[in-house]
Chains A and B, each alone.
Chain A
Amino acid sequence: MRKIWLIIKREYLTRVKTKAFVISTLIVPVLGIGFVLLIAFLVSHAPQQNLRLVIVDKAGGLAAPVKQNLEAALAGGKREFTVADTVERPTAASDVERELRNRINRGALDAYLVIPAELAEPVELHTKNPGNFTLLEPLTLAVNKAVIGARLSARGIHVDDIDEISRGVDLEVIKVSQSGESVEKGQTLALAITLVVLLYMSLLMYGIITMRSVLEEKTTRTMEVLISSVRPLQLLTGKILGVAGAAFTQFFIWVISLGLFASYGAAMAALLNPTSSFPSLHVPLSLLVGVVCFFFGGYFMYSAMFAAIGSACSSEQDAHQLQWLAMTPLVFTMVIYSVVLNDPTSKAAVVLSEIPLFAPVLMPLRMSLQMPPVPQIILSLVLLLGAILGAIWASAKVYRVGVLMYGKRPTLPELLRWLRYS
């Protein structure tokens, strides 16, 4: 035990003490917060869109209401459109349009809207900047409202009633769970996707770090000295735990700083705008515990696999060519997670989340969407534990043979043969 502890300590300290570790630990939250602030700044200080346009109304009678609707459309309390002119039933439409195009090219105008004589044909927006589709929705709305209004009044409905008749309803989604109900504004989906990406990235990243660490001992030939004083299994265990310690230290700092920032941000938002209903993200404790358990489990299983790959190779290049062995199941998880996302209770989702290779990502995903029955979670954890022991056992075998083997990169059949060595 003392030896494992020494290895953990060395692995942890040499990692945590590096400049790269300190910098990345500090810089990620700083960059993350900076990025969020930058976006917030850009959104609130975005240059005011004010589209100058001319309405060419071939049908007649629509230009005025469209103009009225457009000029009433507000974004952030400011007008989005300025109707420079309206042309009703032009006699020489093509001349008018040519003239308007000239004005656009001169920069005197941004766009012109053509309402066709027959409304079965589409309304045309001629603009220099068709990429700006944030303006399309209010524009369509304004024209539709005018057209519907015209049709309704043609059928004898009073103008004042039209607004009331045409008003739609809002749809509110409410999530039902054991802990009650909460208004859904996409936060469940956001949480689920964040979880999947976070778990996938960190399993992959720390797995590769473990692999590199084994490889370093091999390429620097430190291995022979180490192996003469410790057992391969001790070395492997110590290494995995040491890297895990460093990883969790970093993770902890990130989560704490981002958590602090998020709650500060939410408090500020609530203070500045008390009416805004900031979607409340309720993370139950059971989910948190589940994520931590499955992440630990997944990390131990995958890093044992990555460590075995590192021990089998003699160079970073060789390792890159073999690491698909451990990466494939992870990447596959990213391909199939939508099965779980779409229907977390389907048979496929239940089975997939019980398979140890996928469980570290898929089970927390299921838990975030809809808490699965406890026996399923326990079964998944038990299977994962079995897989961890199996992976560490097999890795220690490959490790024992691999760490002192230099030269040609082993093939998969050779690796499997190593498992049979005593």
Chain B
Amino acid sequence: MLRPGVCSRREPRAGTQGETVDAIALENVTKSYDGVEAVSHISLRVRQGAILGLLGPNGAGKTSTIRMVMNILVPDEGSIRIFDRPISDDARQSIGYLPEERGLYPRMPVQSVIVFLAALRGMPEAEAERRAREWLDRFELGDWAEKKVQDLSKGMQQKVQFISAVLHKPPLVILDEPFSGLDPVNAATVKNIMLEMRDEGSTVVLSTHRMEQVEKMCDSICLIDKGRNVLDGDLRSIKQSYGKNTIEIEFTGSDSFLNHPAVASVNRLGLGAEAKLKAGADPQQVLRAAVESGALITRFELREPSLTDIFIEKTGHA
């Protein structure tokens, strides 16, 4: 699964027998606020060169986990290692970070903010300036470089914040809700940049609620609920483990066939429905029942469960 070139980014340390080290390794990490466990015994490994989607309902502990990786919060228990080293200021230098709470100096010009933050992370200022212009152009913010941050719209500020997270070419990027507030065009740009970064060997961790984005780009996922890691692993193998147990059907007319005994649960959609089958049930029976009921079927597809389905099944709520 590892791409060539990924290993060369960080020299494997002695004792790992030529295998690459994990970009992030969480071991039994726990964090409580006033006696309430926000993160409970989470263990997770993110291999280098992967895009990991950190999923979970609101308040699941995603942001707390990310903040602990960034050493903004200190875990009560457990250990966190970045590229097989304990968290230190050096280790943090190699991380590009987009916090959940966006924040830029409102009265500073856009380009100056980007250059300042990149310089703080060790990039020479002249180079930071050159790259800032490139990135601003890419996000169609070239004309705004000298404007103050506070004059930009929310979405534009979001793009500036994203630029400042990735400008210094970090080997590890951690993005908390990178798509929030972005229109589809910009969301696609952000997605493409993440894929490019992965192709260049960087590791990307992102938390999001946008399942369709995760399905399009993530190699692996980690599903957190109530502070616990309920599911993690390679996205494709997770999906395969569920098998093709979901019918997506578009039709007009009576929906009485959805009461068929082989159907476990139904999710009504605008043009039809999504039906999850009971274990071992034959999808053909449902199709036959639909035809016999007189409904006009325009589409019938048997597929693996979507990430949304898995999410809902694992967490019990949307």
Q: A residues within 8 Å of B by Cβ?
A: 3, 6-7, 10, 14, 18, 216-217, 220-231, 404
Contacts and interface: CB of A to CB of B under 8 A. Distances in A.
Nearest to B108: A14
A116 B135 CA distance: 95
Contacts of B229: none
Given A228-B70, A404-B72, A221 B93 contact: no
Interface of B: 70-73, 89, 92-93, 95, 97, 99, 101-108, 116-117, 119-121, 161, 164
Label chain B's interface by main secondary structure: loop
Given A221-B102, A229-B93, A6 B119 contact: yes
Contacts of B99: 221, 224-225, 228
Contacts of B108: 10, 14
A226 B101 CA distance: 12
Tell which of A6, A10, A216, A226 has the most Cβ of chain B within 10 Å: A10
A6 B122 CA distance: 10
Given A14-B107, A14-B108, A220-B106, A225 B116 contact: no
A228 B102 contact: no
B232 to A, nearest CB: 24
A246 B105 CA distance: 18
Given A221-B99, A221-B102, A222-B105, A227 B72 contact: yes
Contacts of A216: 105
Contact of B104 (A220, A228, A231, A404): A220
A231 B88 CA distance: 10
A222 B120 contact: no
Contact of A225 (B71, B93, B103, B119): B103
A229 B117 contact: yes
Cβ-closest 3 pairs across A and B: A221-B103, A222-B103, A221-B101
Contact of A228 (B97, B116, B161): B97
Contacts of A18: 107
Nearest to B149: A220
Nearest to A5: B119
Contacts of A7: 120
A225 B107 contact: no
A367 B72 CA distance: 47
A226 B104 contact: no
Contacts of A231: 89
B108 to A, nearest CB: 6
